[in-house]
Amino acid sequence: MNLAATATNESLAQLSDLLIYSSMAVYTLAFFAHIAEWVFGSRSKVGRTAAALTQQASTAPAAAVTVKVKQAGGTAVLDKPKVVTRSAAGTRDVPDGPGAAGGTVKGDLYGRIAVSLTVLAFAIEAAGVVSRALSVQRAPWGNMYEFSTTFSTVAVGAYLGFLVAKKNIRWIGLPLVTTVLLDLGMATTWLKTPSDQLVPALDSYWLWIHVSTAIFCGAVFYIGAVGTLLYLFRDSYENKLATGGNPGSFARSVLERLPSAASLDKFSYRVNAAVFPLWTFTIIAGAIWAGDAWGRYWGWDAKEVWSFITWVGYAAYLHARATAGWKGRKAAYIALIAFACFLFNYYGVNIFVSSKHSYAGV
């Protein structure tokens, strides 16, 4: 019976590996489809000029249209309307871009193909994570390899959840799929660990609670970080236009298709603010687990310290967003620093720092 169970577990582990590699292949196809979406969605010079005119007109609270009429043999001939705008000083009301597809049919087709492939890859990867869990008969995040595969699965699931909720965030598809491929590449190349049982300190129901919430928080923080980074690029682009600058053709082609800086800033803020309470719960749950496992709730272990630093970083970001003079770019920098702390807490602490959380290895 034990031999049969062992053989079954090994088969499930092999199936998990096969599914993870298969998902990487499908994610690669989705990556190229997203590239095609951006390439074929690149608008012509005429389209960019029209977008620039629309953007200029949108900054004016009121506009007057002047029409001249010429009489030619009793027939009225209208000149082209001349738009006279009245600018509002100190304001910048820029409309959202048309998205990665650029409003083109071909770009939209490739974008839909990319999303469909991402859904397929997500389903395959999720099946790989479940197979890993069945092979070890525990939560599939007992080491860095399992954490990485689960993390990328949850990140893609969160992205698809936004799409199902009718949120127009398909522009995040390309950076997301790129990151997922890098994450899975590192997991299968450097972090690969044979499936095994947990050490006694990890063998607790708190593994399901504490680590699962940490994975979910990290995945959503990642989406917020991408939105924040794109906000900085888009804000610089809008500032350059507002001051009479002339962005390059690549910037015009790519950045003008993103949502406005204001929309990206609002999106990132809402995402980070929504998941921050859950990150607070993650730290509290970890402290309770530490009390059960080690007899103390807090011991200033490296993982505990950097989890707290991450919490402080996001708390500072949320405070900065509500403070005059710190909104916008300054707050965005804090958000990116906070996410960098989260990444170091995972990769840096686990790989380079010796702590009580090092028992799981890589």
Higher pLDDT, 356 or 266: 266
Mean pLDDT of the chain: 84
Q: Taking the CB of residue 119, how many other CB atoms lie within 10 A of it?
A: 15
- pLDDT > 70: percent of the chain: 81
Average pLDDT score over residue span 278-284: 96
pLDDT on residue 247: 86
Close Cβ partners of 112 (under 8 Å, ≥ 6 residues apart): none
Say if residue 45's pLDDT is above 50: no
Residue 41: C-alpha distances to residues 48, 177, 230, 275, 288 (Å): 12, 18, 18, 33, 51
Residue 357: C-alpha distances to residues 199, 213, 291 (Å): 11, 17, 14
Q: If we measure between CA atoms, which residue out of 53, 72, 50, 55 comes closest to residue 239?
A: 55
Instruction: Quick: pLDDT tens for 57-77.
Output: 444 444 434 444 444 455 444
pLDDT on residue 358: 59
Instruction: Quick: pLDDT tens for 143-158.
Output: 889 999 999 999 999 9
pLDDT on residue 53: 43
Report how far Cα 296 is from the mean position of its chain's Cα atoms.
35
Q: Say how many Å lie between the first and final Cα of the chain, rounded.
A: 31
- Min mean pLDDT across 40-44, 114-118, 229-233 is at 40-44
